Structure 1
Amino acid sequence: MSSITDDSIIENGDAPTYAPSLPMPSVQEMVKNDPLHVPERYVRNQEDGPLMNDMSHLSSEIPVIDLALLSAGDIEELKKLDLACKEWGFFQVVNHGVAKEVLQNMKNAASEFFEPPLQEKNKYAMPADDIQGYGHAYVVSEEQILDWSDALILVVYPTQYRKFKFWPITPEGFKKTIDAYSKGVKSVGEKILRSVSTIMGMDEDAFLGLYNDLQALRVNYYPACCRPDDVLGISPHSDRSTITILMQEEDIKGLQIKHNGFWVPVKPVTDALVVNVGDVIEILSNGKYKSIEHRAVANENKARISYVSFICPLDDVGVEPLEHLLDSKKPQKMYKKVRFGDYLRGAMKRKMDGKAHTEMAKFEA
């Protein structure tokens, strides 16, 4: 695995593009200029907004898994993982092996990146045909209700897909910080996928080198909002990934997951990483394991940053239900075989809308 040693690395001209997104104003800049105004394009209908029954008491039921025990094959932790993937689609991992210094350096550098004037961040603005860089993703129409957030999105692995013109050079050392953090997350992802392979009845290395070769990083910036109940930081959606690994701020809640029809906040656990099942695992398991809708809510008093790593197959990998997971209760395949690159781009070309995009992979009833 190569590291960033200088800026002389030549980018691969064949590195893929993904999907266009309409350019939108910076929410952070908008709040700076007028913190007491929320444009109508960000205001949600009551049924779409955050005002729902408070289910905070369920936060403590979201599984917390010890990755050191899981990687050692501990039976109880494997059972906990199986339950988490079936019932929640989300879990938090502790003892994951990524150094605190690496996590904190990533937080410090990202916070510094968002501080300078807009013209500095716009040096890394997303191009018209892709979502790498600074800006907004999944904006597909002028009528669409917008999310209360800005983002920096980068493809990190495979290394030849890195487009360094979108990798910020400020603050100093940010590239190396992203590289170190992403390496740590990659290692965590491999450990988790080995255990997922095990509970799915396969050799522990069955998924490696097939469903985890692409890794992208999305750093979300959620400005404070004077009307937090009327907006959403990120619209409800499930992830198109194999798995997703998230680092949260420890003092601000924002992530919510849909569980039994209610939105449950994911309370940050010190030094933990949040992991969720992606659409790829749901398809491979024929729906046994669920990619769950989740969203981000706004905060009235303080900006929040989250760090999301999507671990995915490469474009040409075919994804379909595994034959040995079909059983008497569910003998028919719910999903057809899809080429991952087609599935991913198809989803990216539409607005985030819960799990509506997964219909592309399902057989018609």
Structure 2
Amino acid sequence: MLKNQQDWPEPVVRVQSLSETCIDSIPQNYIKPSSHRPSISPTSFDDANCNIPIIDLGGLWGADQHVTASILTQISEACKDWGFFQITNHGVSPDLMDKARETWRQFFHLPMDVKQQYANSPKTYEGYGSRLGVEKGAILDWSDYYYLHYLPLSLKDHNKWPSLPPSCREVIEEYGRELVKLCRRLLRLFSINLGLDEKSLENGFGGEDIGACLRVNFYPSCPRPDLTLGLSSHSDPGGMTMLLPDDQVPGLQVRKCHDWITVKPQRHAFIVNIGDQIQVLSNAMYKSVEHRVIVNSDKERVSLAFFYNPKSDIPIEPIKELVTEDMPALYPPMTFDEYRLFIRTRGPRGKSQVESLKSPT
């Protein structure tokens, strides 16, 4: 278990505890600069035309080639135009999805002394946490989380996973197994849509020896949701993210051009988004997209972000078939370990992280 917090720049405060004690205000170090504060429209959740694409995968692996071609086109357009989309009929059991989310909700409502046994540190981030980045005096996000490794097997340690609720470790294991299978299928579809061999992106990730981890986000209710964010604007540093949202309480916002679109989750759908590593491998044909999370004045939210990542110690660079005289390689080689360390020292900073890596032209 992770108990050492001495490397955080300030004492760690659990946001869940603040939520229980703050009545009509929040501490100053959670108040975002005015330009970063959310604009929350009460009608945005109900606008059916204002949402990321929703793609039904039901006929994808059937015999009808026209259906398969249509689904591939929808995925291709979503990857290029949005970087985000929702998938339904994806093959993961709805019961398992519900069980995973509710098991973690139960964990966050355990007594604090039980959760504190899993407190994390900046060294690996694995465990129960409440902040990102190690910058002293940083403006913090209104959220707690639990981060754990699923793959590679050398990093998987069940002792670092919660032992309560009693079914927690079993549920995590089954959920991770199903999500790895789904991510592999999607990665092959991305490769086909890029005009590559179906295993090209998978090989770019390191073949079978990939990385996968889970970050469970807990966003307590907040008396001043207009002043803070549950998670600051960022693009995901890894390969691909499979998000199981709280389908009762919207909160994810995706940047589209200059607007923030509040995602309306579909029941038993996953939200898929492109990470920085696929942007690099695809030579920016697919782009990771800025997103953030708003909080609610009277409702908590729980979401599960499953990150499917390249092998940590191999150089990630544009796939050679996507590099031409007209489109030279935009990014120098960098391992995911190096990139992840780069991110962790700075915390969430929009799209500036991956854009700063571009080779000078």
Normalised TM-score (structure 2): 0.90
2:194 corresponds to 1:200: yes
* Match of residue 337, structure 1, among 313, 333, 340: 333
Q: How many angstroms apart in 2 are the aligned matches of 1:21 and 1:277?
A: 30
Q: Equivalent residue for 1:268? A: 265
2:38 corresponds to 1:50: yes
2:144 corresponds to 1:153: no
Q: Equivalent residue for 2:4? A: none
Q: How many angstroms apart in 2 are the aligned matches of 1:225 and 1:158?
A: 37
Structure 2 letter corresponding to 1:31: S
Greater CA drift, 154-163 or 56-65: 56-65
Counting only pairs closer than 5 Å after superposition, residues 67-78 of structure 1 correspond to structure 2 as: 67-72=57-62, 74-78=68-72
Q: How many angstroms apart in 2 are the aligned matches of 1:194 and 1:235?
A: 31
Contact 2:212/2:308, CA 8 A, preserved across alignment = yes
Q: CA deviation at 1:61?
A: 4.6
Q: Equivalent residue for 1:38? A: 26
* Match of residue 139, structure 1, among 133, 143, 159: 133
2:156 corresponds to 1:162: yes
Greater CA drift, 127-136 or 257-266: 127-136
Q: How many angstroms apart in 2 are the aligned matches of 1:203 and 1:150?
A: 40
Q: How many angstroms apart in 2 are the aligned matches of 1:125 and 1:348?
A: 17
Q: Equivalent residue for 1:283? A: 280
2:308 corresponds to 1:305: no
Q: Equivalent residue for 1:17? A: none
Q: CA deviation at 1:43?
A: 0.5
Name the SS of the counterpart of 1:230 in structure 2.
Answer: coil
2:16 corresponds to 1:28: yes
Q: Equivalent residue for 2:234? A: 237
Contact 2:87/2:270, CA 8 A, preserved across alignment = yes
Name the SS of the counterpart of 1:160 in structure 2.
Answer: coil
Name the SS of the counterpart of 1:208 in structure 2.
Answer: helix
Name the SS of the counterpart of 2:271 in structure 1.
Answer: strand
Counting only pairs closer than 5 Å after superposition, residues 74-153 of structure 1 correspond to structure 2 as: 74-153=68-147
Contact 2:122/2:134, CA 8 A, preserved across alignment = no
Structure 2 letter corresponding to 1:154: L
RMSD: 2.0
Greater CA drift, 200-209 or 127-136: 200-209
Alignment size in residue pairs: 346
Q: CA deviation at 1:55?
A: 5.7
Identity in percent: 32
Name the SS of the counterpart of 1:70 in structure 2.
Answer: coil
Greater CA drift, 225-234 or 318-327: 318-327
* Match of residue 321, structure 1, among 318, 327, 331: 318
Contact 1:59/1:266, CA 8 A, preserved across alignment = no
Q: How many angstroms apart in 2 are the aligned matches of 1:83 and 1:210?
A: 22
Per-residue CA distance 1:106-139 (angstroms, 9 max, x = gap)? 1121011011221110010103522000013423
Contact 2:204/2:319, CA 8 A, preserved across alignment = no
Name the SS of the counterpart of 2:346 in structure 1.
Answer: coil
Change beyond 3 A, Cα 1:144–1:59: farther
Name the SS of the counterpart of 1:165 in structure 2.
Answer: helix
Change beyond 3 A, Cα 1:33–1:55: closer
Q: Equivalent residue for 1:14? A: none
Greater CA drift, 105-114 or 66-75: 66-75
Gaps of 5+ in 2: 2-6
* Match of residue 295, structure 1, among 283, 292, 297: 292
Contact 2:106/2:165, CA 8 A, preserved across alignment = yes
Contact 1:153/1:218, CA 8 A, preserved across alignment = yes
Structure 1 letter corresponding to 2:248: D
Per-residue CA distance 1:189-233 (angstroms, 9 max, x = gap)? 011001001111122123336527100100000000111111100
Gaps of 5+ in 1: 1-10, 12-19
Contact 1:71/1:191, CA 8 A, preserved across alignment = no
Contact 2:87/2:272, CA 8 A, preserved across alignment = yes
Contact 1:335/1:361, CA 8 A, preserved across alignment = yes
Q: Equivalent residue for 1:62? A: 52
Change beyond 3 A, Cα 1:322–1:21: farther
Structure 2 letter corresponding to 1:115: H
Q: CA deviation at 1:331?
A: 2.1
Q: How many angstroms apart in 2 are the aligned matches of 1:34 and 1:260?
A: 35
4+ residue runs over 4 A deviation: 20-23, 52-56, 58-61
Q: How many angstroms apart in 1 are the aligned matches of 2:12 and 2:348?
A: 16
Change beyond 3 A, Cα 1:98–1:21: farther
Q: CA deviation at 1:360?
A: 4.6
Contact 1:92/1:272, CA 8 A, preserved across alignment = yes
